[in-house]
Chain A
């Protein structure tokens, strides 16, 4: 046993005692809680407390008596599930959810499809310009969503956009990109542009960790690069595809910045375009924090249910694959 250079904690009157196994154990036992203290305090203050407060608010409402004038006229009372039934019957929220669903059905497959495609291309043999193109495709990750939406927003404006210039010269019809159906494409494009690079890097790094021997055998058997990509590479990076899918779903459900930024440029993005914008509008625009809280709780629950359902489905599938 080595000599103690430091006095063991909590042993008064035995300044030069060797650290007995029990004291070392005790120290090691309390140490993780000490290290976790800052995270725990922050979690309680900025996650748990606000969530609890939101749930509390969602069961309350303001009752206005008389004309709502005077100090005692507005009283906060218990509301039961009323805010929830109101929210689920609120056409603005339901429409927003449907819009985001449609938007997500475009963004997630296109973004991850492109990310996978680019990652496979980067990983293929004899490809040129790989470091440059990889960096260029990753570049949008560095650009804030607001700025991205702003840049694309200008590119969608007929007066300044090169697309319209080209369409004009070719005598082709010039659709309004910031209205109706094309608006979904316009918004999806911003998200795809911003997210593809990051997901590509995640998939690419996981492709890089596949040992080269795996391919050698397939190559000896005469497999083409396409076959190798489809039969070997894609199944082997399935876990990172699951992860990227998971985070993409969450990010899509929470879309807020891009449609909000486009609003000054077009009238067709309403202030309740996505569910989160509706929450913001109710909380700060209409000043009804109780309705906003109920909607927020519903969105949080929907996110949790959707993401865990997806993870379970993915896990089950992987187990099946493994069992085969």
Chain B
């Protein structure tokens, strides 16, 4: 299993740099690929680099000084953001963490159950259930969100934490990944041996299969965490009380107000920076746990 951080060791790669051997026309560094990748990396980092610098600028510096020249207002911007509507920004961050953390956790549990059942058991309707669940991926979120809103309104659940949390628990993509992973990681002999020993199906799942599925489930969790953290449409439709907003919706409303008052631009920019930092940090720390080969492995089956 490879992760984002693991490179495939190719014996041909990295032939002792610095020693001039071999035919001269053969470059030691593949120049074209390296340059292409560096350009790509710079392109991808440009907006992030910009927001880091822009967040240091005071309101007047933002419009008057060169873009990539650091300003002097970072601490002031932070305290402005803290003061904005009694620190509602941090409330949004907390809400996002709650929606994404709890949502992803529940989603992973449901995916683990379903993926395990679909991978291990042979039963009537298995492929039908799987295909119907998968078709959920194709449903445009608005198609679901509008009637979901109306139905949740009937149950008096709109504008609540649950209205954002509940519709996202079932993730067709998570079920798909969990099934692929369970099929690869849990040998049927092991399940059979458990049955021979008289263990219940539940016990086999929790004690034997679940530990084997952990790496795949970490991936499901992370995908779902990012998906919920980045979600905008569902809270946009469901919520009206800004105390319950996640960070994406909060920043959007801030920008909307900023359209009329450019003084709020610095708040939006500082807020955007602080919203990006936790996810980037999370990425750097956990990227080694992502088994992204699930994606291509999934393709082959």
A299 to B34, CA, bound (A): 42
Query: Total interface residues on A, using CB and 8 Å?
Result: 114
Q: For the complex, is B20 an interface residue (Cβ under 8 Å from A)? A: no
Closest to B278 in A: A142
Identify A208's interface contact among B2, B51, B140, B169, CB under 8 A.
B2
A197 in contact with B44 (CB, 8 Å): yes
A121 in contact with B37 (CB, 8 Å): yes
Determine the chain A residues whose CB is within 8 A of the CB of B249 once the complex forms.
Answer: 146
A68 to B232, CA, bound (A): 35
A206 to B202, CA, bound (A): 35
B139 to chain A, nearest CB (A): 6
Identify A5's interface contact among B13, B33, B110, B198, CB under 8 A.
B198
A114 to B36, CA, bound (A): 10
Determine the chain B residues whose CB is within 8 A of the CB of A32 once the complex forms.
Answer: 117-118, 120-121, 123, 126
Majority-rule SS of B interface residues:
helix
A265 to B200, CA, bound (A): 60
A172 to chain B, nearest CB (A): 17
A100 to B146, CA, bound (A): 21
Identify B150's interface contact among A19, A53, A120, A152, CB under 8 A.
A53
Determine the chain A residues whose CB is within 8 A of the CB of B68 once the complex forms.
Answer: 162
Identify A264's interface contact among B129, B170, B259, CB under 8 A.
B259
Within 8 A of A (CB), among B25-41: 27-30, 32-34, 36-38, 40-41
Knowing A29-B123, A126-B28 are in contact, say whether A137-B110 is a contact too (CB < 8 A).
no
Q: For the complex, is B268 an interface residue (Cβ under 8 Å from A)? A: yes
A280 to B47, CA, bound (A): 29
Additional A-B contacts beyond A46-B167, A148-B47, A205-B2 (17; CB < 8 A): A6-B203, A29-B123, A33-B123, A35-B114, A35-B205, A40-B129, A42-B169, A51-B143, A53-B147, A53-B151, A130-B7, A137-B44, A150-B268, A159-B63, A206-B300, A225-B30, A296-B146
B-contacting residues of A (Cβ < 8 Å)?
2-6, 9, 19, 24, 27-29, 31-40, 42-43, 45-47, 49-51, 53-54, 57, 114, 117-118, 120-122, 124-148, 150-152, 154-155, 159-162, 165, 193, 196-197, 201-203, 205-206, 208-209, 212, 225, 237, 239-240, 242-243, 250, 253-254, 256-257, 260-261, 264-265, 276, 279-280, 283-284, 289, 292-293, 296-297, 299-300, 303-304, 307
